[in-house]
Chains A and B, each alone.
Chain A
Amino acid sequence: MKRLMAIFERDVTLAFRTGGGALNSVAFFALTVVIFALAIGPDRARLSESAAPILWTAATLAAMLSFDRILQADFEDGSLDALIESGDLLSLVALAKASAHWVSTLLPLILATPVLGLLLGLPAHAYFPLMASMVIGTPALSLFGALASALALSLRRASMLITILTAPLLTPAIIFGVAAANAGARGDALFGPALMLLAAMTLFGVLVTPAATAAAIRFNTD
């Protein structure tokens, strides 16, 4: 457990250091939202009803572009070999790295969401459901992203491939996430069930992806 914490802490530290890229993801997220807003135009009503889908889509895109950071650097500089032979279960190492990715990349996006929601004219009562759907649903992004980055490990500059690999896995998160955010904003009874589906996706990710990620790492470091 102490070792997994050490891996988690190191990954979070590296993400916020020079070249770590955690803050670039926030910038990319904000930029995408602004581009969407400009493309939709000054119609406040349309903007505010598009706010949840725009924020969920932009967050997912920003996450996709950051997935290759989860394992690629460790693979290239040899530290992944050392983590493999450190003695911990490799699937737990993968879980620690996915968690670090969520904290360093997706949590900052979620924290930036209220500011961007303001820009899009998101109604006050819609903030809580949107944020709740992101907090519950985005861990699945990091988990499936770790798996995709492990699959593409031996290919260099694979972020486009990783994006293509993860898109079908992550669209359910967007669909249920936006459904939950919208239902919550309307005061609809579907809010609860939609959040449950999101939670199910994250829990499925926790159960299944670490072992699959570990297998993919072993295959690609062989």
Chain B
Amino acid sequence: MDERPADAGRLIAARDIAAQRGGRLVLSGVTLAIGPGDLFILRGPNGAGKTTLLRTLAGLSQRAAGALKRSDNASVFLGHADGVKAALTARESLSFWRMIYSAPPAIIERAISRLNIFPFLDQRGASLSAGQRRRLALCRIVISRRPVWLLDEPTSGMDAVSIRAVVDLIAEHCRDDGAAVVATHEPLDFGPGRTIMLDEAA
């Protein structure tokens, strides 16, 4: 892990990274420095490597080449799967994640109100709709209090009101010196933010 001056103050710095999915190279030459306040929108056709890039930035997937520097507990990742247990109520899921991230109780209240979880707080995961499960999954991201949010299609299955709430939440997080990398096919309007286009696997 070499410290380069350009990466100082960065939460995650990726330099010329390449990554594989199922043994096939889907990404190469990606350089990305994520610091406080940064918002990146990741776009590209299916198979372009958006999820792979997010997993690599999260440290969940090994990169095939390049350098990746992450500060401790820099990021939290939300993939396609919601991580919502069918047999647990929304309330139980939230308090489990609060324990996992050692977060104060007040953070649950904030997550519940921002993502409008209250109407189904005592319902089990099995009875939630896809959009409701997605909102509950996003609560984990809020509860984590990690600076960099790595979100893969965060608004999938959501209605217009919820999408607006999620976009506002992400924008606000970035204004408060957080950062986010959001992979999406939706025309989400975050205001300021940089778009990264990923091409079909080279």
The residues of A with any CB-CB pair to B shorter than 8 Å are 2-3, 5-7, 10, 13-14, 17-20, 73, 76-79, 81-87, 221-222
Among the 9-residue stretches B6-14, B73-81, B173-181, the one with 4 or more Cβ atoms under 8 Å from chain A is: B73-81
Q: A222 CA to B22 CA in the complex, in Å? A: 9
List which B68-96 residues lie within 8 A (CB) of chain A.
72-73, 75-77, 79-88, 92, 96
Q: What residues on A are CB-neighbors of B96 within 8 Å?
A: 6, 10
CB distance from B52 to the nearest CB of A (A): 10
Tell me the minimal C-beta distance from B169 to chain A in angstroms. Answer: 18
Question: Beyond A7-B100, A10-B96, A85-B59, is A79–B87 a contact (Cβ under 8 Å)?
Answer: no
The minimal Cβ–Cβ distance linking A17 to chain B, given in whole angstroms, is 4
Within the assembled complex, what's the spacing in Å between the Cα atoms of A121 and B42?
Answer: 68
Evaluate contact between A2 and B99: CB separation under 8 angstroms.
Answer: yes
Expressed in whole angstroms, the minimum distance between the Cβ of A75 and any Cβ of chain B is 9
Distance in angstroms between the alpha carbons of A6 and B85 in the assembled complex: 14
Q: Is the CB of B102 within 8 A of A2?
A: yes
Residue B50 lies at the interface, judged by CB distance under 8 Å to chain A: no
Check B100–A86 contact: CB distance below 8 A.
yes
Which of A7, A78, A87 is packed against the most chain B CB atoms within 10 Å? A78
> How distant is the Cα of A87 from the Cα of B145 in the complex, in angstroms?
13
Nearest B residue to A86 by beta-carbon distance?
Answer: B100
Assembly CA distance A221 to B137 (angstroms): 19
Residues of A within 8 A of B126 (CB): 18
What are the residues of chain B within 8 A of A73 when measuring CB–CB? Answer: 85
**B101–A78 CB distance below 8 A:** no
Q: Give the distance to chain B from A153, nearest Cβ to Cβ, in Å.
A: 13
Check A86 against B77 for contact (C-beta < 8 Å): no
Contact call A3/B100, Cβ cutoff below 8 A: yes
Nearest CB on A from B107, distance (A): 15
B contact set with A: CB distance below 8 Å: 58-62, 72-73, 75-77, 79-88, 92, 96-97, 99-102, 126, 137, 140
- Chain B residue nearest to A74 in the complex (CB): B83
Give, as a whole number of angstroms, the nearest-CB distance from B101 to chain A.
7
Asked if A222 contacts B62 (CB within 8 A), the reply is yes
Chain B residues, CB < 8 A from A81? 58, 60, 77, 79, 81, 83
> When A6-B96, A13-B88, A19-B87 are in contact, do A76 and B81 touch as well, CB less than 8 Å?
yes
Contact A82 B83 (CB under 8 A): yes
B88 touches A85 (CB 8 A): no
A14-B87 contact given A6-B96, A77-B82, A84-B60, CB 8 Å threshold = yes
- A86 and B88 in contact, given A77-B83, A78-B83, A222-B62 (Cβ under 8 angstroms): no
Bound complex: CA of A222 vs CA of B101, how far in Å? 23
Chain B residues contacting A19 (CB-CB under 8 Å) are: 86-87
Given A76-B81, A77-B81, A85-B76: A6 and B60 interface contact (C-beta under 8 Å): no
Q: Which residue of A lies closest to B76 (CB)?
A: A85
What B residues does A78 contact at CB under 8 A? 79-83, 137
- Enumerate 24 A-B pairs (CB-CB under 8 Å) in ascending A order: A6-B96, A6-B99, A13-B88, A14-B88, A19-B86, A73-B85, A76-B81, A77-B84, A78-B80, A78-B81, A78-B82, A78-B83, A78-B137, A81-B58, A81-B79, A81-B81, A82-B77, A82-B140, A85-B58, A85-B60, A85-B75, A87-B73, A221-B60, A222-B60
Contact of A85 among B77, B80, B81, B92 (CB under 8 A): B77
A83 to B144, CA, bound (A): 12
